[in-house]
């Protein structure tokens, strides 16, 4: 049986996170070129990090959930989940399956 040290697990997590961030930033730059240009590379990266924190707070912390959250922030603004009734409901409806919630949120993108 193999034993994985904590340092090894952290290295794998870090690599996976970096990979996601790289892919997500590229996706946002390709699909939202005007907004990405206005934000700049650092701004897009910061938007993604903030989206990850917020999405995780609402139990939407998967890669797909974080990316969805970032796209909604781009489309509706940083406080979309307070202003839009559909978003307020879906971000608080934790009794609804995570995948269903994210898919419902994507309908507004």
pLDDT(80) > 60? yes
Domain annotation covers residue 66: yes
Tokens of 71: 């796209």
Give pLDDT, residue 20.
Answer: 83
Q: Quick: pLDDT tens for 27-39.
A: 999 999 999 999 9
Looking at the structure of the chain, the number of domains it has is 1
Domain assignment present for residue 1? The answer is: no
Q: What is the DSSP letter of 2?
A: -
Residues in the chain: 109
Identify whether 2 is part of a domain: no
What integer pLDDT is reported at residue 19 of this predicted model? 79
Strands (E), 8-108: none
Tokens linked to 72: 């909604």
User: Taking the model in full, what pTM does it have?
Assistant: 0.83
40 Ramachandran zone, left/alpha/beta (phi>0; psi -120 to 50) = left
Domain ranges, residue 36: 7-106
């Amino acid at each position: 049986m193999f034993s994985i040290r904590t340092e090894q697990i952290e290295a794998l997590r870090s690599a996976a996170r970096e990979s996601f961030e790289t892919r997500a930033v590229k996706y946002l730059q390709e699909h939202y070129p005007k907004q990405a240009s206005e934000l700049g590379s650092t701004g897009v990266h910061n938007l993604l990090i903030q989206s990850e924190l917020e999405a995780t707070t609402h139990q939407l912390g998967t890669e797909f959930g974080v990316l969805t959250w970032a796209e909604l922030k781009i489309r509706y603004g940083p406080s979309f989940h307070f202003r839009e009734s559909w978003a307020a409901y879906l971000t608080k409806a934790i009794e609804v399956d995570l995948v269903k919630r994210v898919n419902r949120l994507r309908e507004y993108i």
